[in-house]
Chain A
Amino acid sequence: MFNKNTMATFFILIIPIVIIVIGVDLINIRLLNRLAIILCINMILVLGLQSFMGNSGILSFAHIGFMGVGAYTSALLAMPLRMKSMALPDLYLMLKTIEISPYLAIFIGGLVAALLAATISYPLMRLSDAAAVITSFALLVVLHTVMVHWSAVTNGPRTLFGIKAITDIYLAGGVAIVMLFLTLLYKESRYGLLLRAVRDDQVAASAIGANLSKLRWIGFIISAFMAGIAGGIWAHFITSFSPNAFYLKETFVILGMLVIGGTTTVTGAVIGTIAVSVVFDGLRAIENMINMAQMFPKPIVGMTEVVLAIAMIATLILRPGGITGSLEVGCWPSIKKRLYHR
């Protein structure tokens, strides 16, 4: 299924995930556990974004919108019936009587996100460059607006509560590993390879028979599926949320992780997520300490976001390919051969 290099990439990349999962479980500090779960969920999101963005070369802002779709779908399907009548009194009768296993609900959340992506995105896939980016942003706004106003299902802009807490570090980490496998599988599949050809040269790719709208569409659906799954796992971890969780702030964090790690590689997605999470959480802890010690007359706010923004700008200027460049970690031993063979 995989060639030697891809296999090596997969096994090297699961090492940090396994270390995080087992390490956190052994140390057993609640805060650390929480941060590690968020890290794994973010990794699923970043891997999903990489599947589309890395292979197609098109920046998508809509990703977090599909996370929201997955979150609301799985929350609704798995919510205990008596909670439902309290949290969502106006819910449609059919949904009011359904209560399924949260694990199944998370999976269905992914499917619904994928189905929604499949239905609405095909016409957008013909667009390239700036037009594609702007449309994806518009799509995020549409998804957000629907979530804010569809009160019967989402409780509107208010917080939806009463969701079962089932996510632990093993679920989040396990799904992250499965998604890592899926992302690599897709990248190396014929559809992934053809999409990368379209990314490198649209004209040449269509001349050899690549249908670019269809190839991008497949990538977009896979990416939305992964975002939906991440949304479900997150919903069953956080247990109460509002539509604002799926908007610009989260989009920026996920995008920052991928850009800093390296957009074109799965290695970049994994390393970027870990690096940014560690720095982000570290900064937040420092910020909290400074504020608690009242070192300055006014509390410091937003240090994490500003640092992430600066890191993103610096990456784009100094190392546009991200930390990892354009090669997967499994290919690093042969890097010399690839570049300087002659």
Chain B
Amino acid sequence: MKNKMLSATGLCVDFFGLRALDNVSLTISKGEIVGLIGPNGSGKTTFVNALTGQVAVSAGQVTCNGQNITGLPPHKVAYHGIARSFQIVRLFDELTISENIELGAIAQGVSRKTAKDRANELMIKFDLQSYSDQLAHTLNYGDKRRVEISRALASQPNFLLLDEPAAGMNEAESDTLLEILNQLPQDYDLGILIIDHDMSLIMRLCTRLHVIDSGKTIGEGDVETVRRLPKVIEAYLGSSADSEEKDA
């Protein structure tokens, strides 16, 4: 297929009459890392939830490689090669790390052996081999994050949606994560959408940015362009720049 992309067109989400997402359009192509930023409560996670079928879309369309996947239940969205991580880590606590990662592949219908092989490979990549037989709830937060990303990758997705992957990590851990994430589009031939508050992480990772505030798009484009948009400076970068100045 020539143009593999995940795209949302005019996406709207309503919660009991409150418009949480208003006419947001965004496209992720294979091989690129797109950043989705915006202040707290601006609708970033809601957007990811709408893409993956966790919340109902009230208007607009989601397509994956040309196929309409709007309104599909989450498990069917997953079959279209869309994997995600969560803002607050969600692992299968009573299962081992190895089983957690294998499940990413097993749920897609691959054989147990292939799943095991993929899990072993990912555990090496993410430096998790030593925890392989431990139950998931015994790990610390940073390790859990890496397990969650490994589980998502085990399904060999076309698109990976990461909701604040560096939250709860210390600087060294988040630097390591950054290196790995940077390699993913090439290594696994996938497109990534990443939500994060860590602006330096976003700036170093992403080729394109999309900024939303109160559920509406207020800017999009490459990193340099977005940085200069007055609306964006006012809503997001500006306020943080202000506080940084004050701190200084």
Given contacts A204-B91, A206-B75, A209-B79, A341 and B130 within 8 Å (CB-CB): yes
Does the CB pair B90–A204 fall under 8 Å?
yes
Q: Does B93 contact A (CB under 8 A)?
A: yes
How many angstroms between the C-alpha atoms of A200 and B104 in the bound complex?
Answer: 14
Q: Does B74 contact A (CB under 8 A)?
A: yes
Selecting from B132-140, B200-208, B228-236, the interface stretch reads: B132-140
Q: Does B46 contact A (CB under 8 A)?
A: no
Does the CB pair A196–B94 fall under 8 Å?
yes
Given contacts A190-B106, A194-B103, A209 and B54 within 8 Å (CB-CB): no
Given contacts A206-B75, A207-B78, A341 and B131 within 8 Å (CB-CB): yes
Interface of A: prevailing SS: helix
Identify which of residues 176-216 in chain A touch chain B, using a CB-to-CB cut-off of 8 Å. 190, 193-194, 196-197, 199-201, 203-212
Q: Which of A209, A210, A339 contacts B138 (CB 8 A)?
A: A339
Does the CB pair B106–A194 fall under 8 Å?
yes
Does the CB pair B92–A197 fall under 8 Å?
yes
7 tightest A-B CB contacts, nearest first: A209-B78, A204-B90, A209-B107, A200-B92, A206-B74, A208-B107, A197-B92
Min CB gap B54→A, angstroms: 7
How many angstroms between the C-alpha atoms of A113 and B133 in the bound complex?
Answer: 37
Q: Does A326 contact B (CB under 8 A)?
A: yes
> When each residue 3-34 of chain B gets 1 if its CB lies under 8 Å from chain A and 0 otherwise, what string results?
00000000000000000000000000000000
How many angstroms between the C-alpha atoms of A210 and B108 in the bound complex?
Answer: 8
Spell out A's residues near B (CB within 8 Å).
Answer: 190, 193-194, 196-197, 199-201, 203-212, 264, 326, 334, 337-339, 341-342
Number of residues on chain B facing chain A (CB within 8 A): 34
Does the CB pair A196–B107 fall under 8 Å?
no
Min CB gap B143→A, angstroms: 9
Q: Does B83 contact A (CB under 8 A)?
A: yes
Does the CB pair B133–A338 fall under 8 Å?
yes
- What residues of chain B lie closer than 8 Å to A337, measured between beta carbons? 133-134
Does the CB pair A190–B108 fall under 8 Å?
no
Does the CB pair B112–A207 fall under 8 Å?
no
How many angstroms between the C-alpha atoms of A197 and B103 in the bound complex?
Answer: 8
Given contacts A201-B92, A339-B135, A208 and B83 within 8 Å (CB-CB): yes
- What residues of chain B lie closer than 8 Å to A208, measured between beta carbons? 78, 83, 103-104, 107-108, 151-152, 155
Min CB gap A196→B, angstroms: 6
- What residues of chain B lie closer than 8 Å to A326, measured between beta carbons? 94, 135
Does the CB pair A209–B108 fall under 8 Å?
yes
Min CB gap A200→B, angstroms: 4
User: What are 20 A-B pairs at a CB distance below 8 A?
Assistant: A190-B112, A193-B95, A193-B106, A196-B94, A200-B95, A201-B93, A204-B91, A205-B103, A206-B78, A207-B86, A208-B152, A209-B75, A209-B79, A209-B108, A210-B103, A264-B94, A326-B135, A338-B96, A341-B133, A342-B134
Min CB gap A268→B, angstroms: 13
- What residues of chain B lie closer than 8 Å to A199, measured between beta carbons? 94
Q: Does B84 contact A (CB under 8 A)?
A: yes
B112 — nearest CB in chain A belongs to which residue?
A190
- What residues of chain A lie closer than 8 Å to B91, measured between beta carbons? 200-201, 204
Q: Which of A194, A203, A338, A341 contacts B86 (CB 8 A)?
A: A203
- What residues of chain A lie closer than 8 Å to B134, measured between beta carbons? 337-339, 341-342
- What residues of chain A lie closer than 8 Å to B52, measured between beta carbons? 207
Identify which of residues 50-99 in chain B touch chain A, using a CB-to-CB cut-off of 8 Å. 52, 54, 73-75, 78-79, 83-84, 86, 90-96, 99
How many angstroms between the C-alpha atoms of A211 and B76 in the bound complex?
Answer: 8
Min CB gap A13→B, angstroms: 20
B108 — nearest CB in chain A belongs to which residue?
A209
Min CB gap B166→A, angstroms: 19
